Amino acid sequence: MTEPLHGLLMQLVQASGLLQPELAHGHAVSLSELFAIHELDADGPLAQRDLSERLRLDKSTVSRLVAGLVRKGYVARERDPANRRLDRLLVTDAGRRAHREIRDAFHARHVELLEAMTGAERAALLTGLTGLLRALRATH
């Protein structure tokens, strides 16, 4: 059972373009960067420590990730007014625009894919993904 699932998951990641999202959506951002932009756009500004926890990435990885996003103009740092020793991260207008464009492209692609599936396949996918997420969360 695990061998076919492993192979299918590998094929899913490759076929979906998740390894190279910038090629599919016209923005030079990695998947990790996209998730960071999403978190900041949805719930920002955030302290870098909070972003690290949300992404489940270590501090040094998030530090490099944020530095790249700042260089690209998608994220900015500002002093936390409640604690001047801390920076808060916020998404810029360019980051918000990129997030919206990528989100819309992903959504359109997902609609296209789901419409190509039968109702039974969509229901099975929903059930299976829900179970997989539950199992992943239970083991972390």
Report the CATH number at residue 21: 1.10.10.10
Query: pLDDT-derived band of residue 22, with 50, 70 and 90 as boundaries?
Result: low
- pLDDT of 19 above 90: no
Phi, psi of 77 (to 5 degrees): -110, 145
Phi-psi region at 92: left, alpha or beta (left = phi > 0; alpha = psi -120 to 50): beta
- Residue-level pLDDT at 2: 62
- pLDDT of 17 above 90: no
- Residue-level pLDDT at 21: 59
Domain that holds residue 62: 2-139
Q: Which residue bears the tokens 């978190």?
A: 39
Q: Where are the alpha helices (DSSP H) in the chain?
A: 2-16, 21-25, 31-43, 48-55, 59-72, 93-115, 119-139
Q: How far apart are CA 21 and CA 19, in angstroms?
A: 6
User: Minimum mean pLDDT among 5-14, 85-94, 113-122: which range?
Assistant: 5-14
DSSP state of 31: H
Percent of the chain predicted with pLDDT > 70: 91
- pLDDT of 24 above 60: no
Q: How far apart are CA 34 and CA 65, in angstroms?
A: 10
> Looking at per-residue confidence, does 5 or 94 come out higher?
94
Measured on CA atoms in the order 106, 101, 21, 63, is the torsion positive or negative?
A: negative
Question: Per the structure, how many domains does the chain have?
Answer: 1
- Which H or E run includes 83? strand 83-91
